[in-house]
Chain A
Amino acid sequence: MAEPILQVRGLVKHYPLTQGIVFRKQIGAVKAVDGVDFELAAGETLGIVGESGCGKSTVAKMLVNLEKPTAGEIAYKGEDVTRLSGRALKAVRRNIQMVFQDPYTSLNPRMTVGDIIGEPYEIHPEVAPKGDRRRKVQDLLDVVGLNPEYINRYPHQFSGGQRQRIGIARGLALRPEIIVADEPVSALDVSVQAQVINLMDRLQTEFDLSYVFIAHDLSIVRHISDRVGVMYLGRIVEIGRDAEIYDHPTHPYTQALLSAVPVPDPEAREHRERIILFGDVPSPANIPSGCRFRTRCWKAKERCALEVPLLAVPAEFRHEAAGPAAHDSACHFAEEKQVVPPEEPQEESKKESPAEPVDKIQDEPTDDVK
């Protein structure tokens, strides 16, 4: 792999739970992100998948400095961003931009499209001198496939897919090197999703971008990503190249996730083995000891409650012949499992985005808390 442009080490975000009004004392913490490591190479797309509440959006926010990590480091070209402040921080933030999930709420309804896309230039005036901005904004509209004459329109005059293009144009305005996209297509209709994905693909080549692409739709993540990380309860449980994760998953959670995705092929109904997990994801305020997946895992043994499995290539796959199964997986009992029979090459296919953003149900209590 090329020199990583972004290196994340031991990233942690805990939100304190307090009791009392005058004498506040901390009684616990919601461990939204609890030790995440990954690297992003220049020009690469890293997909991060996971269910609601797994911390993937919190990771995204920390990458663009919208949340301060509790611990850990985010190194951009070797420099720890979490320690920077003032001018140095501002310079780095220019290079890491974000595209948000919901194109309806992430654009200010009272600003014209021109003002929305041009706003980054107010904060970083060195990128575009004042007289030049209008032209730059029109160029950006053109780049994302919108009519440059729309510059004076308001967000409500656009459809969902067009709005997401505006959000992407805003993310591109400062010519960043990294774009963090948090569920960029999940609020869009199926026929429009493909258009936006194609646009993002084209922009990556055109502007030499690196993407961190966060989504819960496994088939879209596979399509766009070079490497994929699977998150569960604040940690990455398995990470590797897309084919390693999708065709040779070794972590039971990844296997269950892949097998649960509905396949758009009615013929697959009969000869498909589905792993149906019990129960719900435990609350991040009350994470199980040892392996955090053990409460829903069908393979859990005593050791899983005592020992936290590390994210590394499992011992049984460290020999040469292991092939694609030899990738990082945080399980004591990792084993390869063909989730779908081989005559079905598109097992990871389609789960379309919900009309309702899934992240909304993120903070609900689960039965385990009660």
Chain B
Amino acid sequence: MLLEVRDLHVEFRTRDGVAKAVNGVSYSVDEGETLAVLGESGSGKSVTAQAIMGILDTPPGKITAGEILFQGEDLLKFKEEERRKVRGAQMAMIFQDALSSLNPVLSVGAQLGEMFTVHQGMSRKAAKAKAIELMERVRIPAAAARVGDYPHQFSGGMRQRIMIAMALALEPDLIIADEPTTALDVTVQAQVMDLLAELQRELNMGLILITHDLGVVADVADRIAVMYAGRIVESAPVHDIYKAPAHPYTKGLLESIPRLDQKGKELYAIKGLPPNLMHIPPGCAFNPRCPLAQDVCRTDVPPLYEVTEAGTDRVSACHFWRECLHG
């Protein structure tokens, strides 16, 4: 297994109290595999990714428990210096907003080249040649002429390609893409996702795709992990989960997508609001919004049950996953 997150807990200590952002997340990604982490804002999907990358702001954030095994070694036991060597070279991240993630006062060539001068001690000239090569690889037209341009001179789609190029520079084993296409238009999103998938195949990388878009997930993922209030509520191969969700939250998300036969009718809506992370409801965090909730849901936190029907290798954190599957 390339990456294995085990029972990760992250808290944020703020003036108003402790916000429990991640409450026991476990997932794993293999080489060449795409894991989609699906969740709404505040579900902890990005915080988990930041903990894996080692770019969590501490304080206020604090990893209170858990292990992050990367190629068998626990990253949380590494010293900062060792982690820095892993970051960029072995795992890299693609951020949502390319414009604010790139340095506006450095040319893109300089930023791409930095990967090689810092990690591999290359000369600046050689690094520039590498930068051009990378830009060609992500299909930026006239790469040699544009290597000296600044981020604002590129369009949104092109900037996201540069982010991808930067992440791929040192051919890492794992890429974490945090909402990589959310800020892009549909037609450009299709171009960028295609490119990312192609490069992943070519380099046989593991990819963690963090998103809230059920459409993008269906297009590219092998497995899905659905997060709610800092926990994984369901995890399964992509085909199984769309066919028969085994958690009421996943089911609600899938049903709230407008479909043809619902035209003119009321859309299915999950009632209520996501919980405040400082006051997560006791028992199952989803119980106040759940149509299947019983007394047991208000008192007992559901473990990750193994779902033994409708597919293999899937888990659901619902006491009533059977009812959900059939109802």
List residues 143-163 of chain A with CB under 8 A from any CB of chain B. Answer: 159, 161-162
Chain B: which residue is nearest A283 at the CB level?
A: B155
B147 CB to closest chain A CB (Å) equals: 13
Which residues of B lie under 8 Å from residue A223 when comparing CB positions?
A: 258, 262-263, 267
Q: Pick from B40, B99, B158, B257: contact of A280, CB below 8 A.
A: B158
Which residues of A lie under 8 Å from residue B203 when comparing CB positions?
A: none
Asked if A51 and B187 make an inter-chain contact with CB atoms under 8 angstroms apart, the answer reads: yes
List residues 123-155 of chain B with CB under 8 A from any CB of chain A. Answer: 141, 152-155
**Known contacts A351-B186, A356-B182, A365 near B256 by CB under 8 Å:** no
Asked if A266 and B213 make an inter-chain contact with CB atoms under 8 angstroms apart, the answer reads: no
Residue A20 at the B interface, CB < 8 A? no
Asked if B260 and A358 make an inter-chain contact with CB atoms under 8 angstroms apart, the answer reads: no
A67 CB to closest chain B CB (Å) equals: 23
Most chain B CB inside 10 Å of its own CB: which residue of A159, A260, A261, A352: A352
A358 CB to closest chain B CB (Å) equals: 7
A287 CB to closest chain B CB (Å) equals: 16
Asked if A257 and B186 make an inter-chain contact with CB atoms under 8 angstroms apart, the answer reads: yes
List residues 342-370 of chain A with CB under 8 A from any CB of chain B. Answer: 345-346, 348-352, 354-356, 358, 360-361, 364-367, 370
Asked if A365 and B153 make an inter-chain contact with CB atoms under 8 angstroms apart, the answer reads: yes
Q: How far is the CA of A256 from the CA of B191 in the complex (A)?
A: 12
Q: How far is the CA of A335 from the CA of B113 in the complex (A)?
A: 47
Asked if B186 and A194 make an inter-chain contact with CB atoms under 8 angstroms apart, the answer reads: no
Which residues of A lie under 8 Å from residue B54 when comparing CB positions?
A: none
Which residues of A lie under 8 Å from residue B156 when comparing CB positions?
A: 52, 280, 361, 364
Which residues of B lie under 8 Å from residue A264 when comparing CB positions?
A: 214-215, 217-218, 242, 254, 257
Asked if B96 and A266 make an inter-chain contact with CB atoms under 8 angstroms apart, the answer reads: no
Which residues of A lie under 8 Å from residue B96 when comparing CB positions?
A: 355-356
**Known contacts A276-B191, A358-B183, A219 near B157 by CB under 8 Å:** no
Asked if A260 and B182 make an inter-chain contact with CB atoms under 8 angstroms apart, the answer reads: no
Which residues of B lie under 8 Å from residue A218 when comparing CB positions?
A: 186
B217 CB to closest chain A CB (Å) equals: 8
List residues 205-227 of chain B with CB under 8 A from any CB of chain A. Answer: 212-219, 221
A-B interface, 7 closest residue pairs, ranked by CB to CB distance from nearest: A262-B215, A223-B258, A194-B269, A51-B185, A260-B190, A354-B182, A191-B270
Question: Could you tell me which A residues sit within 8 Å of B by CB distance?
Answer: 51-52, 159, 161-162, 189-195, 197-198, 201, 216, 218-220, 222-223, 242, 256-257, 260-269, 274, 276-277, 279-281, 345-346, 348-352, 354-356, 358, 360-361, 364-367, 370
Asked if A367 and B182 make an inter-chain contact with CB atoms under 8 angstroms apart, the answer reads: no
Q: How far is the CA of A331 from the CA of B295 in the complex (A)?
A: 61
Asked if B258 and A191 make an inter-chain contact with CB atoms under 8 angstroms apart, the answer reads: no
**Known contacts A201-B266, A346-B260, A260 near B214 by CB under 8 Å:** no
Which residues of B lie under 8 Å from residue A364 when comparing CB positions?
A: 152, 154-156
Q: How far is the CA of A257 from the CA of B267 in the complex (A)?
A: 24
Asked if A197 and B187 make an inter-chain contact with CB atoms under 8 angstroms apart, the answer reads: no
Asked if B258 and A266 make an inter-chain contact with CB atoms under 8 angstroms apart, the answer reads: no
List residues 149-201 of chain B with CB under 8 A from any CB of chain A. Answer: 152-158, 179, 182-191, 193-194
Q: Pick from A281, A349, A358: contact of B258, CB below 8 A.
A: A349
| Further pairs besides A216-B185, A261-B215, A263-B215: 18, Cβ < 8 Å | A51-B185, A159-B273, A190-B40, A190-B256, A191-B274, A194-B269, A216-B186, A260-B187, A262-B193, A264-B215, A265-B218, A266-B221, A345-B260, A350-B215, A350-B258, A355-B179, A355-B182, A356-B183
B111 CB to closest chain A CB (Å) equals: 18
Asked if A355 and B185 make an inter-chain contact with CB atoms under 8 angstroms apart, the answer reads: no
Asked if A51 and B186 make an inter-chain contact with CB atoms under 8 angstroms apart, the answer reads: yes
Residue B238 at the A interface, CB < 8 A? yes
Q: How far is the CA of A222 from the CA of B252 in the complex (A)?
A: 20
Which residues of A lie under 8 Å from residue B253 when comparing CB positions?
A: 190-191
Chain A: which residue is nearest B213 at the CB level?
A: A352
A-B contact pairs, 17 of them (CB 8 A): A51-B185, A52-B185, A197-B267, A222-B260, A222-B263, A260-B187, A264-B217, A264-B242, A264-B254, A269-B219, A276-B190, A351-B186, A352-B215, A358-B185, A364-B155, A366-B155, A370-B153
Asked if A365 and B155 make an inter-chain contact with CB atoms under 8 angstroms apart, the answer reads: yes
Which residues of A lie under 8 Å from residue B256 when comparing CB positions?
A: 190-191, 193-194
Asked if B258 and A222 make an inter-chain contact with CB atoms under 8 angstroms apart, the answer reads: yes
Q: Pick from A159, A219, A256, A367: contact of B257, CB below 8 A.
A: A219
**Known contacts A219-B258, A349-B259, A366-B155, A194 near B268 by CB under 8 Å:** yes
Q: How far is the CA of A279 from the CA of B157 in the complex (A)?
A: 9
Which residues of A lie under 8 Å from residue B187 when comparing CB positions?
A: 51, 256-257, 260, 276-277
A192 CB to closest chain B CB (Å) equals: 7
A237 CB to closest chain B CB (Å) equals: 13
**Known contacts A223-B263, A264-B215, A349 near B239 by CB under 8 Å:** no
Which residues of B lie under 8 Å from residue A367 when comparing CB positions?
A: 141, 154-155, 158
Asked if A161 and B273 make an inter-chain contact with CB atoms under 8 angstroms apart, the answer reads: yes
